[in-house]
Homo-oligomer: A and B are copies of this chain.
């Protein structure tokens, strides 16, 4: 049970670039601390609170959201098992969103101070976390692109494709059918549309034989046509290292301090 979550994280990264055993071990040590059970609806943090830790989602789904004065809400990010929450406020002071569990789950918290140690000790693994943060950024960017000019149908299709792809990468045992634990209201808040229209949209998608949703079960009927309508290109999700920043390079650099910057530091 405990190891599964780390496995998810490692597996996902490893799918694209083989990690060295050392790095895996370091990640496991870093994240495999006391886990806490949390239940659906439970808040992980609130807007305005001091941001001083990462949350590692070992099992369950979560999301980050902004609440407006008028009672409406915008879901910003969806977190799946194996994801890390809070990477976007590292180094900045306070939370700018709420974070809420969508399902029951298990989490562990990692204070930023440990992270700082990591920065010092292993630029290797630090670059890895940077990559994960970069992937989150890519998701935000892609969401914005999709939200701006695409129709409700396309947005919905894209969202489903994204969730499905991300789930598959954690090695979940789902192929064309999986659990999407969001109510239509949640989906509406995530996709920037009304709950009623989410309902309509799913009806249309079902009519066209693309996806079928019942309760929280989601069945993808025609994956190819769905991806086509969503103009879904999964490249933005792929964690593929830049050679300049690759683990191998970082590792080497870690062992043999570079010349260029050393010169600068000496001067100061």
Q: Which residues of A contact B (CB under 8 A)?
A: 22, 25-26, 29-30, 50-52, 66, 68-69, 72, 74, 76, 88-94, 96-97, 111-123, 126-128, 130-131, 133-138, 140-145, 147-149, 191-192, 231, 235-236, 238-245, 249-250, 253-254, 257-258, 260-262, 264-265, 267-268
Contacts and interface: CB of A to CB of B under 8 A. Distances in A.
What DSSP secondary structure best describes chain A's contact surface? helix
Nearest to A194: B149
B244 A134 contact: no
A118 to B, nearest CB: 6
A218 to B, nearest CB: 22
A137 B97 CA distance: 13
Contact of A141 (B72, B119, B140): B140
Nearest to A240: B93
Contact of A192 (B50, B113, B115, B149): B149
Nearest to A144: B144
Copies of this chain present: 2
Contact of A254 (B120, B145, B240, B257): B120
Contact of A257 (B120, B236, B240): B120
8 contacts: A25-B267, A74-B145, A90-B242, A97-B141, A118-B261, A123-B123, A130-B130, A137-B140
Contact of A122 (B66, B231, B243, B261): B261
Nearest to A247: B91
Contact of A136 (B121, B137, B144): B137
Contacts of A74: 144-145, 148-149
Contacts of A262: 121
Nearest to A131: B91
A113 B265 CA distance: 17
Contacts of A22: 268
Given A94-B240, A96-B138, A149-B192, 5 more contacts: A90-B245, A92-B240, A116-B123, A144-B147, A147-B148
Given A116-B253, A137-B136, A242-B112, A66 B145 contact: yes
